[in-house]
Chains A and B, each alone.
Chain A
Amino acid sequence: MINEKLNQTVEDIIAKAEYNPKSQTVNYTLAIIMGGLIFLSFVLPLVFGGSTNLDYFTFTITFIAIFAGLSLSLNMEVGFLGLPNFGKIGFIAVGAYSYILFVNSGVNEILSFIFAGISAGVFGIILTLPSLRLKEDYFAIVTIVVGEIIRETVRNQHQLGGFEGFAVPLPIDRLYPSNTTFLQNILLNNNSISIILITLILIFLYFIYLNQKYSKIYAVPYSISEPFVTKGGIQEEVENGLINFTIFLGIIVIVLNFFGSFGGSPNGAIDLSILILLILLFFQRNYKFALLRKYDIHWDFLKTIIVFMLYIIFSYVLGFVFPVNSLSTTLSNWYNMLLAVGVLLISYKLIEDIVKSPFGRTMRAFRDDDTSAISVGKSLLGYRIKGLALSNMFAGFFGVLLAYQVGSITPDGYTPTTTFTLYIMIIVGGTANNIGAIFGAFLIQLLFQAASKMGDLQNVGGIFAGLRFDFVNFSLIVVGVVLILFLIFAPEGIFPEQKNQNERYLKLLKQLSLDTEGSKSYLVRILSFFMSIAGDNSFRHQNLRGLEFTENTDEKSSNYEEEMK
Chain B
Amino acid sequence: MTDAIDLDEELLYPEEVNIDQAIAEMRKRKELIYSLLIISVFILVSSYLLTVVDLYRQNYVAQVYFTLVKASQFILVSVGLTLSIRVKKFANFAHAELLTVGLYTVVAINDLNLNLFFNNLLSLLFFAFIMGGLIAILSELLVFGPLAKRKATPLSLMVASIGVGLIIRHVIQQFLPGGGVPVIMVLPLPSFWLSIGNFLLTVPLVGSFLASPFNDITTFGIFGSSKTLTVSNIGVISILSMVIMVLTLQFLFKKTYLGISMRATSDDEDLSEISGINTQSITYWTWFISGGITAFGGVLLFSSGAVVPFAGFSQLLIIFAVVILGGFDSFEGTLISGFIIAGIQTLTIMINGIIANNVPPGSPLSYTVFWNPSADWSNVGPFLMIIVVLIFRPRGIFGLVDPGSKL
Residue ranges of A at the interface with B (Cβ–Cβ < 8 Å): 84, 129-142, 144-146, 148-149, 152-153, 155-158, 162-163, 370-371, 374, 380, 420, 423-424, 427, 470, 473-474, 476-477, 479-481, 483-484, 487-488, 491
Contacts and interface: CB of A to CB of B under 8 A. Distances in A.
Interface residues of B, number: 53
A137 B90 contact: yes
A286 B395 CA distance: 50
Interface string B153-167: 111101110111111
B91 A141 contact: yes
Interface stretch (B143-151, B216-224, B331-339): B143-151
Given A138-B403, A424-B163, A480-B167, A145 B383 contact: yes
Interface string B19-63: 000000000000000000000000000000000000000000000
A484 B390 contact: no
Contacts of B391: 129-130, 133-134, 142
A487 B317 CA distance: 24
Closest 3 CB pairs of A and B: A480-B166, A480-B167, A483-B163
B390 A138 contact: yes
Contacts of A144: 317
B80 interface: no
A488 B155 contact: no
Interface stretch (B170-178, B255-263, B271-279, B298-306): B170-178
B386 interface: yes
A134 B394 contact: yes
Given A155-B376, A470-B173, A137 B158 contact: yes
Contact of B164 (A140, A153, A156, A484): A484
Contact of B369 (A138, A156, A380): A156
Contacts of A142: 386-387, 390-391
B372 interface: yes
B159 A483 contact: yes
Given A156-B377, A477-B167, A477-B170, A148 B390 contact: no
25 contacts: A84-B155, A134-B405, A135-B404, A136-B406, A138-B324, A138-B328, A138-B403, A139-B406, A142-B391, A145-B387, A152-B380, A156-B377, A157-B369, A158-B372, A420-B166, A470-B173, A473-B173, A477-B171, A483-B160, A483-B163, A483-B166, A487-B156, A488-B146, A488-B147, A491-B150
**Main secondary structure on B side of the interface with A:** helix
B379 interface: yes
Among B152, B374, B403, the most chain A Cβ lie within 10 Å of the Cβ of B403
Nearest to B149: A488
B209 to A, nearest CB: 38
Contact of B405 (A133, A483, A488): A133
Contacts of B180: 470, 473
Contact of B170 (A135, A148, A480): A480
A473 B369 contact: no
A10 B315 CA distance: 60
A416 B141 CA distance: 27
A7 to B, nearest CB: 42
Contacts of B394: 133-134, 138
B405 A135 contact: yes
Interface string B125-157: 000000000000000001100110010111110
A98 B147 CA distance: 41
B11 interface: no
Contacts of B372: 156-158, 162
A488 B159 CA distance: 11
Contacts of A138: 324, 328, 390, 394, 403
Nearest to A367: B406
Contacts of B244: none
A241 to B, nearest CB: 49
B152 A149 contact: no
B284 interface: no
Given A141-B390, A424-B162, 6 more contacts: A132-B405, A134-B390, A144-B317, A424-B163, A480-B165, A480-B166
B160 to A, nearest CB: 5
B239 to A, nearest CB: 28
A144 to B, nearest CB: 7
